[in-house]
Amino acid sequence: METKMFKTATTDLAAAAELIKKGQVIAFPTETVYGLGADATKESAVKKVFAAKNRPSDNPLIVTVANVEMVKRFVSEIPAIAEKLIANFWPGSLTIIMRYNEGALSPIVTGGLPTVAFRLPENEVTRQLITLADTPIVGPSANTSGKPSPTTAQHVWHDMHGKIAGIIDDGATAVGVESTVIDITTDVPTILRPGAVTQEALEAVIGAVNSEHRKVGADETPKAPGMKYRHYAPDVPVYMVTPDQWPAAIIWAQQQLEPVGIMATDEIIEANHLAGMDFVWSLGTDVTTANAKLFAGLRYFDERDDVETILVHHFADEGVGLAYNNRLGKASSGQYFDVEM
């Protein structure tokens, strides 16, 4: 299949929306990461998304909408908690899991669950596309299953060219990690995946919130089906480096026979005289810029056949650092750099 590249002009979006209406798959930008879009009400179209991503069929998809009216096509009454979350965080990087009317969505979308994940992105291009297609679209991240989510159209092209009908190029995404996922069907609402909308921000609006992602162990069944699969993983080992460990880690890196990729903040790069060197990927100034640059760096080093190990800066477990450490923890299988290694 020939994959067409689209820009964000209205004529381009209209052409892409036509393809969605015809049951084709189009990769679309959001403010978090790029998604793989297809008509959420057409089983044959949704099946193509699973095939393109090579995604396990029991891992449900997000339904991406352009307005709240589209949610009401599947849900007879929006729960009060959801109303509050919608009023405060939509459009934005928050995905809300709620119950839907029996039979209103294909089990292919929901993995057969009685719940469905809705997301109304901040990115205007996304909303324009959905409005033009006049249908909610499924929107998993547009990567091959198990690889880092794409934050540029080029990342999507790398994983998806030849497999989908088109890609809309809106440049690099601003946030860089996927949306916060909250399940409001539990007694206490539960964060299944941390993102730019933090637990503190959610609690300020709806009161106590649990976070499932902080306690899932290997022997527990994860609440978000996606949590049980290996994620974001380059082919070579990734180690997390706490700020105090960088001097030792850099000495270790220089002693290795094969090049080691280093992903660190500008401060660490400058303090250790690494600026402008090969094998160095800047995460910018702080945890917010690091979220935006993390996946691109992992992909960059994964593509370089010479790099045999990747060392990545670990941030404090607070605020949007939780989203960052969650993704990095998966990419590294939880391994920290250690002078003994």
Residues forming the site for Mg ion (CB under 5 A): 141
Q: Which is nearer to ligand TXA, 151 or 245 (CB)?
A: 151
18: how many CB neighbours lie within 10 A of its CB? 13
Residue 51: C-alpha distances to residues 70, 142, 291 (Å): 26, 12, 28
Mind giving me the DSSP string for 163-213?
Answer: TSSEEE---S-SS-SPPEEEE-SSSS-EEEE--SS-HHHHHHHHS--EEGG
Q: Which is nearer to Mg ion, 12 or 178 (CB)?
A: 178
Residue 64: C-alpha distances to residues 1, 10, 126 (Å): 25, 19, 9
Q: What character string, x for contact with ligand TXA (CB under 6 A) and - otherwise, covers 71-110?
A: ------------------------x-x------------x
79: how many CB neighbours lie within 10 A of its CB? 14
Task: Report the partner that residue 202 touches, choosing among ligand TXA, Mg ion, none (CB closer than 5 to 8 A by kind).
Answer: none
Kindly state the smallest distance separating residue 182's Cβ from ligand TXA, in Å.
Answer: 10
The sign of the dihedral angle between the CA atoms of 276, 277, 281, 285 is negative
329 binds ligand TXA, rule: CB under 6 A:
no
What span, in angstroms and rounded, lies between the C-alpha atoms of 116 and 37? 16
Q: Which is nearer to Mg ion, 113 or 206 (CB)?
A: 113
60 binds ligand TXA, rule: CB under 6 A:
yes
CA angle 11, 1, 136 (to 5 degrees): 50
Kindly state the smallest distance separating residue 63's Cβ from ligand TXA, in Å.
Answer: 8
For residues 82 and 96, the answer to whether their CB atoms sit within 8 Å is: yes
Task: Report the partner that residue 181 touches, choosing among ligand TXA, Mg ion, none (CB closer than 5 to 8 A by kind).
Answer: ligand TXA
140 binds ligand TXA, rule: CB under 6 A:
yes
Kindly state the smallest distance separating residue 215's Cβ from ligand TXA, in Å.
Answer: 16
Task: Report the partner that residue 35 touches, choosing among ligand TXA, Mg ion, none (CB closer than 5 to 8 A by kind).
Answer: ligand TXA
Structure tokens belonging to residue 321: 């650092």
179 binds ligand TXA, rule: CB under 6 A:
yes
Among 30, 135, 210, 309, binds ligand TXA (CB under 6 A): 30
Q: Which is nearer to ligand TXA, 156 or 250 (CB)?
A: 156
115 binds ligand TXA, rule: CB under 6 A:
yes
Among 17, 61, 274, 294, binds ligand TXA (CB under 6 A): 61
Angle between helices 199-206 and 80-89 (to 10 degrees): 130
Kindly state the smallest distance separating residue 171's Cβ from ligand TXA, in Å.
Answer: 15
Q: Residue 304 CA to chain centroid, in angstroms?
A: 23
CA angle 118, 120, 126 (to 5 degrees): 125
Residues sharing a CB contact under 8 Å with residue 277, sequence separation 6 or more, in sequence order: none
Among 24, 32, 128, 135, binds ligand TXA (CB under 6 A): 32
Contact residues toward ligand TXA (CB under 6 A) are 30, 32-33, 35, 59-62, 95, 97, 110, 113, 115-117, 119, 139-141, 178-179, 181, 192, 224-226
